Structure 1
């Protein structure tokens, strides 16, 4: 009949330094796990203090309060008779470590420090922690008095050990350790570990879940075993969204999966699996047996505890978990759900009364509005499902914390918390004004339509009074300098108006508080620097700041059907334009003409610059291979140099980007993800000379080959 175990793992929406809230969510996950019959519970990385504490990890308070929370957990009735694995930072011999603490019935069994730290992209763990680089070594850790008094323990094992219960062996790895070539589970499995745990703080990025699932499956596909994956979820105070999706797999097959995007603060999944299936799988591999027989041993910490149960003894049959297909979202669904969940966390945790969005009638602000609408739909779905936390937060956001209000209609909820404004000038078209108004009506936002020509004229009057000259647009005979200054004046005036309305709109509606200003600059425009510094792209948060124009178009095409919004066809058909220059019968300003490159090309440049890690010359050689069948070497060279030039002169703009939802791996966000200079020699004299020399050499070779062919 086997040895059947019920195991629980979870995704928690923890918040950096919210020790009280984090404690409550941990306890709730334990209750849910125990209710499901589980005898082992796994939580996400650094769940006690929150993953994104960052430089607060330098502070002694962070460690003190983490121990205080752990003490509460050790003494909590909910945690009795369950093997529990929680995450927190710990100082061992004056060195800071990112750790797992495994305890049972008020006794700490093992503190396991992280061995491979994440230190790329959005991660800076080496800034705060040290990796434990002593494989299979365990030593004593002296416990704080507040813990030793409760546990009656002075020291506990600290290091790279495993837990052995009466019926199985449990090994730990943490987040980055799964992604490394020499992962701990490889060696643990050869030493007889049957249950592997992974506690993560892994953020969402396009298609990242596929990589994660493949690695989890692969961890036990060759050597067998049960793999539990826990993850942080939500916005814990940073630009990233941790996308949850806890998983349980056995022998390479996924048997349980949690949601990737949801408003649930606590999500627990469980599986009933048979340890004998692991043993049978491994016993059928003689080659594995030969390797395991000579594998070095891990220090084992004994737990007088039984995880499994025997159906013969209980007389009750168990329904074992069976392999299932993994649920993946399409990129369009990822855009609809990820930023929406992130916005909800930001809104409720900032104690703001809603959002304000300058709605231009263009595709980018339309995308931002749709994401807010998606958020409202998720809130209504969760509220109608009876989620008490969502209902409580919704009442707080709409300014009725003591009412019995429960969101029941997304448009009605949207009308309370979402405010849009069309800021027109004499250069605006009736088409964009009409699109903005119709979209606002369809979504239910509180919409304002205004002309700001008087504001712009006032600034120009001040300048003319002082300097006795008045700038003109290029189409009216002005210079490029005048033309650019007039465009930037309009754009920056919109920022001032946006913040004024964001602070006063709720007041005009008889409500206290203020609104968060939303930005709507996409990742490609940021990469190229095609926006005005401190214009309406300057905002409190930007949900589309890490999404390309190409992906946004696909999202709107998807939303047209998914949300039943025919108005979106008008946004898809309209050419992207800033509408900052006068429209004449011979001239209409469009984005791609202004930029001198297409949005699709920008995505390619962005990928090569960041993901492929190409400098200007490397970018040229790559693109010559891709584009050389249609373009000449000099044309490829000219395109590369044009992009690099504008990227260089505009790089300083990325230093003031509002916090943007991270989604694209080529994000140019200078604040955390893309650490590069913001002052360049935009002539790139050495690099551009090498590109020109290579282009000339390729051109000469083509001409010689053409001559031989003609002969």
Structure 2
């Protein structure tokens, strides 16, 4: 994948470096910075951020007052300036810079053989182990907006932003160490003024527990600013007279950690991440609170160019299943949180309407299993008798022995009240009433069964004085893979915020975490059963003949597409690009494109079903309720999206 392709999708490749260095050895430090910059360039990086005072070392102490150190700093900056003339990349290094009779702790931004600007530190820590006010002045104390440096007049101040010409949405804002730890960091104002990539040159000493706090700080600030935040920290080459430095450098984007270095390595380390400028812009466009903020300061914007480097595949997490936790350590916590959201929502609804009975259709499939588990948990929360749950299994023309057996066993094992009602006779009477030939297995044949089941559930709910719990999931709603006024309808839909890939994951987790013996066996077999509405007769062996994913496509692809289109608002070509990256080993380009076209066609054509959804809880960052997250006309045209896909080349 070459640079032109990746840039077209709005990515900016960024590296943070924790370099091997020595206190006051500027020649050695400059060599390490140059070496790290060239390593980063080989990996296609546009920008490399180095730690605070990386040219001299943070721990120079009173050596900062030595004229020879300051003079040599300027000479070394000149050498780095010349290096970038040939390498065409942007370097941000830390250095002490004198101006107006004062000394400033600065970030020097270098690109294209020029020093683009010098940003002095705003906040100087002067407590506990920090004594910066002994040597440095704060940015507010500067007396000029330019300084003479390396033979040129250079912009100087904390009001500088740096914009990439080839990717105008990529705007860099720079702060230094303590600036990012204060109550009102300068990066917040920079973000409001347009900065999408915030960088922090740091020398953060390590103490017990600080690693996690630092990581949370970087992720939180990136989320608050709807930006990327790159934090380059000094390593153990710093003085250990009283402190230890670990070189913990990180890159986060809108709360997500993209990359970080290992700690306590004396060798130079790089953490590289592809920042998605397109994603950040989309997030800002839809966040009216961000748009309503206003920058208190005016900023000078300085443009820079980036060379067209060759690129390896994306340097950022890109899970195939974005709705499912990638880290197994998060599994229990995430699943417990989801169940808490679903059960609390249902418990609130039951309390509000004052009912102690519910009705739920159980097919032996994933969705109804999850809905039943949630309902049982909600009854436990309310201290209600599980016999108030009337679980109805309604075998029809396509029901297999496997799914029916699992449905009946699960109802019994969970202590709910079981009712078994065959729909065969009722549906045949309906066929006779409307004049439909039972041997014609068309949509009328299928949907008549689905609507008969819903009628039964609604009428039983009247019998028991309860409500019908809906079982349909978010993926089915996105694709419209539900029968209008049948499984599409209920009094409360507990799964409406849970996509299919996550449904399977949740049921599997329940089997392992909450149950044992026969209940676990049944749940595991349900997870292993192909997804099917079971509306067509079984095959000759009595097995499911109607596999949903054979007709509508793999749910893992549709859930991936749903996340990229609704959560990030990406254009079809970018969704296809990301799918190629994520599923390179599993699907060829033609398959990915085929199901992406199906996704867009169905997503647009089936909006009318989402426009009249029953109530149900939002669970994750993607939801399709017409009363909340997703407002879309039912007659919107899909052609614009399909036309873009038609222009893509596969193979």
Give me the TM-score of the superposition, normalised by structure 1: 0.44
Q: Which has the larger radius of gyration?
A: 2
